[in-house]
A and B are shown apart, each in its own frame.
Chain A
């Protein structure tokens, strides 16, 4: 896979992430329950872990996805390193949030799981891009 194609795939996945996190930010501020098939979204969104120092974690996710998209615009090694670093932060925090859903909040939110899957994909793609360059 060429570097530019890999960059486009990363951009595509990050854009999906922006959509998911953006939706969760919207429902958070609108005070409404997210569309949910797993039954636990509202509970997860309403839990004490849904905010970090008063900032919704969905908003942190949104910023993260946008920053990963932004890193694609940075040329050379630095851009690749920034992307890889951001994806690792996103992946680590998503893993922690998934742990909270499973063991602390005892509810699963499909949107959060979706975001965690996207972050995992981004981790693989950005690190592949950084290592093989």
Chain B
């Protein structure tokens, strides 16, 4: 009897242990399925993020869709330009901008700050802005800078550089090819773009680029855009800004103008 009861007890214990094991392994299997599902969803999300991120970055600056030509023309219409300078030669204050046409922060300055400075100070004859084009990002930078300087020979450097920023493509993708540079030039009224294209390799332009790089090095600038500001004809000092906003510039310009 006792042996039979012991056997029954053992059998029950075994059944219970089996059941527990089965439940445990069921739970484990369920968890693995759940983890597999979680992983699948996560992978789908990552693929979607990657597709969105890489989409629409085929180089930018579609040559057939130059944008902003009318805005730029309106902003600069009637403002005198001489070579790399924008504004009256008699303006009390000169701001020098060191910029790479491929650089997105330089585009930010062009889009958000320059229009205010032109409207409030350059048109009033108080400020002159000089562009020193740098080419550290890559070959597109140099080609764009050369074409801007070549447009400067026709008094249109700022029209060119500003319209270039409006249509800036992704850095280092080679988008600034001849067709792109020409299409920007074509959208600028009064610019002989073929002549400008032909002048891109001029020795004077090579010299201007080397001059800009040397000036940036002298000032210790290693990022773009960087700025120097001072009274026209006097030594300029680096302008340190924490944000690319008009106030940061107007504060310093007003200080230099001293109520003029």
Contacts and interface: CB of A to CB of B under 8 A. Distances in A.
Interface of A: 30-33, 42-43, 46-49, 52-53, 57, 77, 81, 84-86, 88-89, 92-93, 96, 105-106, 127, 130-131, 133
7 contacts: A32-B242, A48-B57, A48-B60, A85-B42, A88-B39, A88-B43, A89-B45
Contacts of A48: 57, 60, 104, 170-171
A42 B46 contact: no
Given A48-B171, A52-B53, A131-B35, A89 B223 contact: no
Interface string B236-255: 00000011110000000000
A30 B243 contact: yes
A130 B31 CA distance: 8
A81 B46 contact: no
Contacts of A92: 42-43, 45-46, 49
A80 to B, nearest CB: 9
Interface of B: 31, 34-35, 38-39, 41-43, 45-46, 49-50, 52-53, 57, 60, 103-105, 108, 170-172, 223, 242-245
Contacts of B171: 43, 47-48, 105
Dominant SS among interface residues on chain B: helix
Contact of A31 (B35, B39, B57, B105): B105
Dominant SS among interface residues on chain A: helix
A19 B45 CA distance: 24
A8 B108 CA distance: 42
A96 B49 contact: yes
A49 B57 contact: yes
Given A48-B171, A77-B31, A30 B242 contact: yes
A46 B105 CA distance: 7
Contacts of A85: 38-39, 41-42
Contacts of A88: 38-39, 42-43, 46
Give the top 3 A-B pairs by smallest Cβ distance, nearest first. Answer: A92-B46, A88-B42, A85-B38
A84 B38 CA distance: 8
Contact of B50 (A96, A105, A127): A96
Nearest to B242: A32
**Which of B46, B243, B245 gathers most chain A CB within 10 Å?**
B46
A106 B38 contact: no
Nearest to B245: A31
A58 to B, nearest CB: 13
A63 B242 CA distance: 26
B223 A33 contact: yes
A47 B173 CA distance: 12
